[in-house]
């Protein structure tokens, strides 16, 4: 659907030359919500702008719906661009025009008949929940409302691809969330493929199926959101994951796990895509008569799958503990002894 093949983008020339993209290859499949994350200057905007021809790659290919953009005539590109909507960080609305006129703009440019424009704009304003604002001006709207209008405008020509460049970066967390839910609805109800650029891992976590991590013009890591969050491979990805998943063990628990002299064993249990903590704990205490003391727990859900870890202390006879360990391992849940705790 969208394919980047070894895309390089160089701005300027001579001394002032900047390599914004350095051999990036990635593929966004039809119907996916694909996120690209990276720090400022990583090349994210350059990448997304190559999809709708706002930038042209210096080398490599960008293929949209089977068409290699680099080899098309301007007329062919215009026709492909009809199928691509774009949402911007700062909304890019025309302040001198009403909400209705802003959403109608792309259709007007395509010389769509007036009644059809009216029907389509009404439908879109209804979809984004702002039918009552048709006659208002952008200045009279909140940031979240402005972005809803930006999204309605991007959808006017019934695109099959929606590009979002930091679409929520100017919004507060709650408004961000409502915009992300709207994007999710667009993906589900209209089957639109969405490519999202962001520097916030929370955005990736909330709606993306897949994620690519960019650094200095290169794509350094890629995978499903679950893969990258549960086992990030690069330092940069680990840092991004750390901004939303706080799984460092508190100091007092850490101290306990360093004490190896005691008699009650302490274990670390990793839940990666397996059953969540609480049912397991009550299951094993009932089943094996163990006294389980949870010292620390951090279980979250990613794409509907539990993920996290727990530090537990088992109090029971050796036999009870051995049986419990065998039972847990049978469930393919990772558990390892980290310490013995006196008392």
Site for Mg ion contains 89 (CB under 5 A): no
Total chain residues near ligand ATP (CB under 6 A)? 13
Among 177, 253, 187, 225, smallest CA distance to 36 is for 225
Site for Mg ion contains 45 (CB under 5 A): yes
CB of 244 to ligand ATP, least distance (A): 18
In angstroms, the CA 44 to CA 49 distance is 9
Q: Which of Mg ion, ligand ATP, none interacts with 46 (beta carbon under 5 to 8 A by kind)?
A: ligand ATP
Among 129, 166, 175, smallest CA distance to 149 is for 129
Residue 108: how many other CB atoms lie within 10 Å: 12
Among 37, 33, 14, 2, smallest CA distance to 228 is for 37
CB of 106 to ligand ATP, least distance (A): 24
Using only C-alpha atoms, the chain has a radius of gyration, in whole angstroms, of 25
For ligand ATP, the closer CB: 41 or 297? 41
Which one of the spans 41-49, 123-131, 231-239, 301-309 is the region binding ligand ATP (CB under 6 A)?
41-49
Helix or strand holding residue 163 (H, E)? strand 161-165
Interface with ligand ATP (CB under 6 A), residue from 3, 31, 32, 41: 41
Tell me which residue has tokens 């979002």.
Answer: 164
Site for ligand ATP contains 195 (CB under 6 A): no
Residue 188: how many other CB atoms lie within 10 Å: 11
CB of 17 to ligand ATP, least distance (A): 9
Interface with ligand ATP (CB under 6 A), residue from 24, 45, 127, 265: 45
CB of 159 to Mg ion, least distance (A): 21
Among 125, 119, 172, smallest CA distance to 151 is for 125
For ligand ATP, the closer CB: 11 or 190? 11
Q: Which of ligand ATP, Mg ion, none interacts with 138 (beta carbon under 5 to 8 A by kind)?
A: none
For ligand ATP, the closer CB: 40 or 73? 40
Q: Which of ligand ATP, Mg ion, none interacts with 18 (beta carbon under 5 to 8 A by kind)?
A: ligand ATP
CB of 216 to ligand ATP, least distance (A): 9
Residue 294 bridge partners (DSSP) = 312
Among 22, 35, 26, 20, smallest CA distance to 241 is for 35
Interface with ligand ATP (CB under 6 A), residue from 42, 103, 128, 281: 42
CB of 48 to Mg ion, least distance (A): 8
Which one of the spans 38-46, 127-135, 230-238, 326-334 is the region binding ligand ATP (CB under 6 A)?
38-46
In angstroms, the CA 181 to CA 33 distance is 12
Helix or strand holding residue 38 (H, E)? none
Interface with ligand ATP (CB under 6 A), residue from 4, 46, 182, 266: 46
Total chain residues near Mg ion (CB under 5 A)? 1
Q: Which of ligand ATP, Mg ion, none interacts with 15 (beta carbon under 5 to 8 A by kind)?
A: none
- Helix, strand and coil content of the chain, in percent to the nearest 5, comes to 40, 30, 30
Helix 143-155 to helix 114-127 angle (10° resolution) is 130
Q: Which of Mg ion, ligand ATP, none interacts with 52 (beta carbon under 5 to 8 A by kind)?
A: none
In angstroms, the CA 83 to CA 159 distance is 4
CB of 197 to ligand ATP, least distance (A): 7
DSSP-derived secondary structure letter, 89: T
Specify whether the CB–CB gap between 36 and 212 falls below 8 A. Answer: yes
Cα of 239 vs its chain's centroid, Å: 15
Site for ligand ATP contains 43 (CB under 6 A): yes
Name the residues that contact ligand ATP, by CB under 6 A: 11-12, 18, 20, 38, 40-46, 199
């Amino acid at each position: 659907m969208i394919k980047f093949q070894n895309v390089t983008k160089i701005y300027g020339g001579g001394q002032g030359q900047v390599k914004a993209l350095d051999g990036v290859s990635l593929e966004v499949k039809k119907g996916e919500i694909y996120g690209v994350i990276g720090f400022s200057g990583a090349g994210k905007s350059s990448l997304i702008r190559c999809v709708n021809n706002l930038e042209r790659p210096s080398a490599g290919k960008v293929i949209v719906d089977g068409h290699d953009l680099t080899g098309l005539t301007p007329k062919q590109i215009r026709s492909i661009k009809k199928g691509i909507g774009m949402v911007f960080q700062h909304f890019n609305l025309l302040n001198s025009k009403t909400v209705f006129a802003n959403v109608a703009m792309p259709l007007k440019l395509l010389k769509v008949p007036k009644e059809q424009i009216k029907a389509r704009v009404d439908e879109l304003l209804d979809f984004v929940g702002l039918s009552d604002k048709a006659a208002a001006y952008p200045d009279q709207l909140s940031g979240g409302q402005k972005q809803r209008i930006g999204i309605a405008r991007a959808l006017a020509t019934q695109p099959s691809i929606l590009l979002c460049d930091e679409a929520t970066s100017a919004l507060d967390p709650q408004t961000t969330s409502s915009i992300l839910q709207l994007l999710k609805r667009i993906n589900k109800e209209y089957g639109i493929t969405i490519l999202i650029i962001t520097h916030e891992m929370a955005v990736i976590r909330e709606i993306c199926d897949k994620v690519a991590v960019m650094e200095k013009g290169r794509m350094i890591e890629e995978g499903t959101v679950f893969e990258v969050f549960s086992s990030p491979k690069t330092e940069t990805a680990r840092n991004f994951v750390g901004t939303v998943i706080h799984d460092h063990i508190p100091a007092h628990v850490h101290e306990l796990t360093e004490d190896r002299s005691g008699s009650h064993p302490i274990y670390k249990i990793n839940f990666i895509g397996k059953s969540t903590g609480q049912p397991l704990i009550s299951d094993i205490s009932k089943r094996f008569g163990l006294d389980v003391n949870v010292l620390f727990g951090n279980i979250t859900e990613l794409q509907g799958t539990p993920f996290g870890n727990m530090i537990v202390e088992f109090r029971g006879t050796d036999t009870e503990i051995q049986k419990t360990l065998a039972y847990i391992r049978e469930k393919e849940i990772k558990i390892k002894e980290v310490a013995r705790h006196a008392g």
